[in-house]
Amino acid sequence: MKRLTTVVIALACGIGAVWAATDPIAERRALMKSDGMAAKKMFDMSKGTTPFDLATVQDSLKTLYDGASKSAALFPDDSKTGGGTAALPAIWQNKADFDARFAKFVKDVAAAQAGIVDEASFKKLAPAVFQNCGACHELYKAKSG
Amino acid sequence: MKRVVLILALLVVAGAALAWVLSAPKPRYTEAEWQALGLAGDAAAGRLVFFAGGCESCHKSPGQDDPLRLGGGLELKTPFGSFYPPNISSDPADGVGSWRAVDIANAVLSGVSPGGPHLYPAFPYSSYQRMTPQDVVDLIAFLHTLPAVPGRAPANDLAFPFSIRRAVGLWKLLYLDNAGLRPDPGQSAQWNRGRYLVEGPGHCGECHTPRGLLGEMDETRALAGAPLPDGHGKSPSLRSGGFLDWTTADIVEALTSGFTPVGDVLGAGMTAVVRNLAELPESDRQAIAVYLKSLPPLGPPAPAKP
């Protein structure tokens, strides 16, 4: 019985994982979440709340780069509602602008990856990365549920 | 039978007359009363009132980024129809450039436009009514320094019966207390400043407080979260859920940069709110945070009885 339960749970988890992988809302929410945590680490450093650490910055930028590169494709037409999404209908009404903003975000992150070598260059280039968050959220994200 | 009809007709006429009298616009000040206050406006102080009040969020000309170009015309979708905030630039014909100070004061504090007609409470005078006359006179001084922007906003597009402007007078009788905010002597100056900013110029409750059938704010559930008027998303509760875990410093940060403790960045209407509040001195954002943290937690509303 125990074994059967284990198998059922394992199967359920597997199905859940597969489902999540084909569920763009869950996927983009997970990416946004990790993007947010990565951005927060950099933001705290830029405020001087935490000490500057180049390795952490580079890790965070990599997370942001991966997230930003993948996310734009995770807003198909059938993912407008449900799953606790905070995406606003404006995304699909202005899809070209929305995609262009993601492209700009990727570009700004790449520029930061190439240019940040020390604390001074971090202070100079990080704000351009952060600026993308609010600029996009203003138009395309509202709290839901 | 004839007599019954006559009585009914008289009742209808009397009712209509009563409604007309009750719904009359009641500006807060006459010109003489306003002059008697003897206030002088300071544009630099008024700039801070302008950003505390978030005037530009609704009155800024759409499609451009300058918060000081106040040509109006942004569409605000609500369950009652679409509102188009007017031009409040210093343009003498299309804006408020030729308005007397008392006209602007009465608009902000009592929702009455020059010459009488009511303004709709989409203009948040339900909150602005709590502003001090000094803040209003400073704001007026600042507005006069801003560029004239020609052009008028489209007319509001509202569903009947909300399209009857005069009826706003009856709404005000029910929901506008027309009273300022008396400082609570039992609380610190910082707390009182925070409450003033939140409940007065900051008009936080206009989005974060749930509304009743006629769009009135449910003050028993002040700041407890509400759906956004356009139906997409919500303004979260500031008295329950994750927000209770925020520290004063977290709130100050969110109101300065938009960054939340979990690395989210505030979106939708809050982006403009943050942009505006970031213009205030840090002490004001501290005061707002201290006041919000002092609110007693409030869970979700009790389920309706079957």
- Across-strand partners of A87? A141
CA angle A72, A76, A78 (to 5 degrees): 150
**A83 in reach of chain B (CB within 8 A):** no
Inspect the interface and report whether the beta carbons of A133 and B258 lie closer than 8 Å. Answer: yes
Inspect the interface and report whether the beta carbons of A43 and B259 lie closer than 8 Å. Answer: yes
**A36 in reach of chain B (CB within 8 A):** yes
What residues 216-255 of chain B have any CB closer than 8 A to a CB of chain A? Answer: 228, 232-236
DSSP state string for A67-115: HHHHHGGG--TT-SS-TT--B-THHHHSHHHHHHHHHHHHHHHHHHHHH
What is the structure's pLDDT at A18? 47
C-alpha–C-alpha distance, residues B16 and A108, integer Å: 64
Query: Quick one: which of B134, B127, B154, B176 has its CA closest to B26?
Result: B176
- Across-strand partners of B112? B118
Lowest mean pLDDT among A4-18, B49-63, B207-221, B224-238: A4-18
Inspect the interface and report whether the beta carbons of A37 and B262 lie closer than 8 Å. Answer: yes
C-alpha–C-alpha distance, residues A89 and A86, integer Å: 10
pLDDT by 10s per residue, chain A, length 145: 566 555 555 555 555 444 555 799 999 999 999 999 999 999 999 999 999 999 999 999 999 999 999 999 999 999 999 998 999 999 999 999 999 999 999 999 999 999 999 999 999 999 999 999 999 999 999 876 5
Counted across chains A and B, CB pairs separated by less than 8 A come out at: 66
In a 13 Å sphere around the CA of B32, the CA atoms on its Cβ side amount to 0
Tokens of A131: 């600026």
In Å, how far are B15, B100, B105, B106, B226 from B29, measured between CA atoms?
A: 28, 12, 8, 6, 33
Inspect the interface and report whether the beta carbons of A142 and B232 lie closer than 8 Å. Answer: yes
Inspect the interface and report whether the beta carbons of A36 and B267 lie closer than 8 Å. Answer: no
Q: How confident is the model over B114-164, as pLDDT tens digits?
A: 988 999 999 999 999 999 999 999 999 999 999 999 999 999 999 999 999
What is the structure's pLDDT at B148? 98
Tokens of B262: 């979990």
What is the structure's pLDDT at B230? 83
B137-175 burial, b at 16+ Cβ within 10 Å, e below that, comes to bbbbbbbbebebbeeebeebebeeebeebeebbebbeee
Q: How confident is the model over A47-86, as pLDDT tens digits?
A: 999 999 999 999 999 999 999 999 999 999 999 999 989 9
Q: Determine whether B114 is exposed, middle or buried from the number of CB atoms within 10 Å of its CB (0-12, 13-18, 19+).
A: middle
Neighbours of B262 (CB within 10 A): 13
Kindly list the residues from chain A whose CB atom is less than 8 angstroms away from the CB atom of residue B263. 33, 35-40, 43
Specify the 3-state DSSP secondary structure of B185.
coil
Kindly list the residues from chain B whose CB atom is less than 8 angstroms away from the CB atom of residue A138. 267-268, 271-272
Query: Quick one: which of A88, A97, A95, A129 has its CA closest to A111?
Result: A129
Q: What is the pTM of this model?
A: 0.90
